[in-house]
């Protein structure tokens, strides 16, 4: 399986500021994803991040608010810009990993970043 780490694990931020979340995978992966999980809710996909191309955003999420970088096959960042209290959530990074062509691909997740915006 892929081991994924995220930094920071949690943060408390002031309204109007920005926070960049880092995601590191212990092996090279083609596709990485960023999700948001609001309190007590399920996961909502923000965007798909492929190395060497622009991130693909889901409906309701825009690049100006959630810029994403994917500089190489093991790393990605998500920035939450101009934050408001409504952005308080857990942000989860995941990577699509396959042990081999017959076993298929599975998303593995990082530990998440708990963000509180005051």
Q: Which residues bind another protein (CB under 8 A)?
A: 1, 31, 33, 41-43, 45, 48, 90, 92, 94, 96, 104-112, 114
Q: Looking up tokens 């994403």, which residue turns up? A: 68
**Closer to another protein by Cβ: residue 76 or 94:** 94
Q: What is the rounded distance in angstroms from the CA atom of residue 31 to the CA atom of residue 15?
A: 31
Rounded to the nearest whole angstrom, what is the least distance from the CB of residue 16 to another protein in the complex? 26
Residue 105's alpha-carbon distances to 30, 82, 96, in angstroms, are 11, 35, 6
Residue number, 16 or 57, with CB nearest to another protein = 57
Nearest approach, Cβ of residue 9 and another protein (Å): 9
Three-class SS state of 85: helix
């Amino acid at each position: 399986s892929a081991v994924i780490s995220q930094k920071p694990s949690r943060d408390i931020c002031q309204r109007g500021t920005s926070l960049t979340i880092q995601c590191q995978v212990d092996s090279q992966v083609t596709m990485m994803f960023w999700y948001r999980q609001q309190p007590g809710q399920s996961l909502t996909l923000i965007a798909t991040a492929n190395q060497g191309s622009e991130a693909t955003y889901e409906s309701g999420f825009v690049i100006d608010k959630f810029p994403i970088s994917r500089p190489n096959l093991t790393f990605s960042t998500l920035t939450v810009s101009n934050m408001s209290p409504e952005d308080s959530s857990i942000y989860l990074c995941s990577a699509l990993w396959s042990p081999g062509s017959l076993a298929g691909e599975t998303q593995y997740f990082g530990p998440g970043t708990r963000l509180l915006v005051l």
